[in-house]
Amino acid sequence: MNGSGWSDFLAMGGYGLYVWGSFGMCVLVLALEIGMLSARRRAALQPDDADVIDNTGVGA
Amino acid sequence: MADKRVNWFKYAAPQTFYLLAGRAVPWFAIAAVVLTAAGLYLGLWAAPTDAQQGDAYRIIFVHVPAAWMSMVVYLAMAFWAAIGLIFNSRLSSMLANALAPTGAWMTFLALWTGALWGKPTWGAWWVWDARLTSELVLLFLYIGYMALHAAIDDARRADRSAALVAIVGVVNVPIIYFSVQWWNTLHQGASVSLTKAPSMAPPMLIGMLVMSLAFWMYCFAMALARVRTIILERERHTAWVRKTLAVA
């Protein structure tokens, strides 16, 4: 693109809403998916007391 | 000769695969970040404005990769679901499970970015055209697969039932892919295919291929990271997971 600066870049030749709406939603979805997975992983890593054999000397 | 062969079944053990996937995830993630940075530079900056569609065409740099991955991930999911069904291998079913959310997100992105491209280009956010409708059906297949799996308490029974949905749904993938040839659709035909030279200017094409590779790497990273979590959830009762959790 031969734009003269940031405002031209952001305007995207008048299609800014559509272009940034697309790229923005991609960023949002990736952030959501990664966030949801890391929450799920944290939950899975949480040892529930009844479940874990106490071989560390801590807990239970 | 036989003793020189790699024992691939070793990697079918969740415990082995958990470690293997753990080592692979960061590399896929790094590749995804680097390729995305390059792809965004090429797509948003280096590639020239399209003569017909103006800058609205830049949406394809995310739309096409998302649409490709929505189908590729579905095929991978159905493949692993089928392997899990046929060979009764737990890890295969877990892989199918791990792929589903990523595939569903890709399908959503393909539909969303398609709508934002359709509005300025066709004048409509949505039309009930064969390509769009079959892609929407794909989203429902992903959701159906995940909902059915979640609705059945016993994980192995859930795997088998959901696998049937995944396998039956495979018929929809060629329908999506060939819809632009089989029916008169508003959606344009493929600009890139294996059989003929691409009908795109080189900088645009390179940007799109780099973004597609980035999406591939992202999907690999996500599916492998998710399968690790699924392994932890499902193998909680085993000694090795208990040890892993105790250390963590």
Domain spans in chain B, listed from the N-terminal domain onward:
15-189+212-247
Query: Which of B218 and B5 is assigned the larger pLDDT?
Result: B218
Q: What's the CA angle centered on B200, arms A18 and B212, to 5 degrees?
A: 65
| Interface mutation vs chain B, best among A2, A20, A22, most B CBs within 10 Å | A22
Which pLDDT does position A60 carry in this prediction? 41
- DSSP-derived secondary structure letter, A13: G
Complex confidence, ipTM: 0.89
Which pLDDT does position A48 carry in this prediction? 67
- At CB < 8 Å, which residues of chain B contact A? 40, 44-45, 47-49, 54-56, 58-59, 62-63, 66, 101-102, 105, 108-109, 112-113, 116-117, 119-120, 218, 222, 225-226, 228-229, 232-233, 236-237, 239, 242-243, 245-248
Could you read off the pLDDT of B199-237 as tens digits, one per residue?
778 888 999 999 999 999 999 999 999 999 999 999 998
Going by pLDDT thresholds of 50, 70 and 90, the confidence category of residue B51 is confident
Query: Are the beta carbons of A44 and B48 separated by less than 8 Å?
Result: no
SS3 of B105-134: the string is HHHHHHHHHHHHHHHHHHCCCCCCCHHHHH
* Over residues A15-43, mean pLDDT: 96
Could you read off the pLDDT of B65-85 as tens digits, one per residue?
999 999 999 999 999 999 999
Q: At what angle do helices B155-169 and B90-122 cross, to 10 degrees?
A: 40
